[in-house]
């Protein structure tokens, strides 16, 4: 009986640790408490999000050098960066240089996304930030909110040799009953995996 109780305690402890890890990675990584709490461009579009996710990585260049690489992100543009070894495995290669044809972004521009959707530029400031909102077939993806999500890509703490690349993804509350049963941190884990890959791929190119 005592051994059974011990095993149960260990199992429960493992479950608690896993739940906490999923929650933490699903909501933030690489950011300071100050970055999580700070207001970013685009926050007011979805004032009461289902989940707000913050990620950050330090880039080894100034914001001015990093900006062209960020501005050309997207399907049928510079792609979505990944480490070169992973791109070789997947046979999918993002741009390895900056592309002049994608260096003239304006508010209202639409950038193709995977899955038939698209990202509309809601606001931007050269060398500082761009905020996207999600659209599907040219229309907002939910009726309850202006956008299903907003995605802010912000360059902070700029110095000649480093810049913090801060991403904030804010998802609108889902309308469907089944979607509401999904813990918000689970979509956050997918976001974590994709952002970590993009950070590493971007750093490789900047080096």
What is residue 115's predicted lDDT score, i.e. its pLDDT?
A: 67
Cα of 20 vs its chain's centroid, Å:
20
Q: Tens digits of per-residue pLDDT, 101-111?
A: 999 999 999 98
- Asked if residue 207 has pLDDT above 70, the reply is yes
CATH number where 179 lies: 3.30.530.20
Q: Is residue 122 helix, strand or coil?
A: strand
177 exposure class (CB count in 10 Å sphere: 0-12, 13-18, 19+): exposed
Burial (CB count <10 Å: 0-12, 13-18, 19+), residue 116: exposed
Residue whose entry in the numeric block shows the structure tokens 């040219």: 138
Q: Looking at the predicted structure, is the pLDDT value of residue 29 above 90?
A: yes
- Predicted confidence band at 143 (pLDDT cuts at 50, 70, 90)? very low
Strands 139-140 and 117-125: unpaired
Domain that includes residue 164, residue range? 2-206
Contact between 107 and 126 (Cβ < 8 Å): no
The total domain count for the chain is 1
| Higher per-residue pLDDT: 184 or 136 | 184
The pLDDT assigned to 174 comes to 77
Cα dihedral sign, 10-16-18-20: negative
pTM of the model: 0.86
Question: Is a pLDDT exceeding 50 seen at residue 149?
Answer: yes
In this prediction, residue 142 carries a pLDDT of 47
Average pLDDT for 97-126: 90
Kindly report, residue by residue over 40-96, the tens digit of the pLDDT. Answer: 999 999 988 988 999 999 999 999 999 999 999 998 899 999 999 999 999 999 999
Identify the helix (H) or strand (E) that includes residue 91.
none
Query: Contact at 8 Å (CB) between 42 and 131?
Result: yes
Higher confidence at residue 101 or residue 2? 101
* Short-list 57, 99, 28, CA closest to 200: 57
C-alpha 128: how far from chain center: 16
CB 41 within 8 A of CB 129: yes
Confidence of residue 124 (pLDDT cuts 50, 70, 90): very high
| Average pLDDT in the chain | 86
pLDDT of residue 118: 86
pLDDT at residue 11, as a whole number: 65
Q: Where are the alpha helices (DSSP H) in 40-112?
A: 63-71, 84-90
């Amino acid at each position: 009986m005592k051994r059974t109780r011990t095993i149960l305690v260990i199992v429960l402890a493992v479950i608690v640790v896993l739940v906490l890890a999923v929650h933490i990675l699903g909501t933030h990584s690489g950011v300071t408490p100050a970055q999580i709490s700070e207001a970013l461009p685009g926050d007011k579009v979805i004032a009461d999000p289902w989940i707000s996710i913050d990620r950050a990585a330090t880039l080894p260049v100034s914001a001015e050098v990093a900006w062209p690489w960020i501005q050309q992100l997207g399907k049928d543009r510079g792609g979505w960066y990944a480490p070169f070894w992973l791109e070789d495995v997947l046979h999918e290669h993002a741009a390895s240089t900056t592309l002049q044809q994608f260096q003239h972004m304006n508010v209202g521009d639409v950038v193709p996304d995977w899955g038939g959707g698209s990202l509309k530029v809601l606001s931007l400031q050269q060398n500082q930030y761009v905020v996207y909102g999600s659209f599907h077939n040219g229309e907002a993806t939910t009726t309850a909110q202006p956008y299903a999500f907003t995605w802010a890509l912000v360059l902070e703490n700029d110095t000649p040799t480093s810049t913090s690349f801060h991403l904030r993804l804010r998802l609108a509350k889902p309308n469907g009953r089944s979607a509401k049963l999904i813990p918000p941190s689970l979509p956050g884990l997918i976001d974590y995996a994709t952002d970590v890959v993009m950070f590493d791929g971007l750093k490789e190119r900047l080096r």
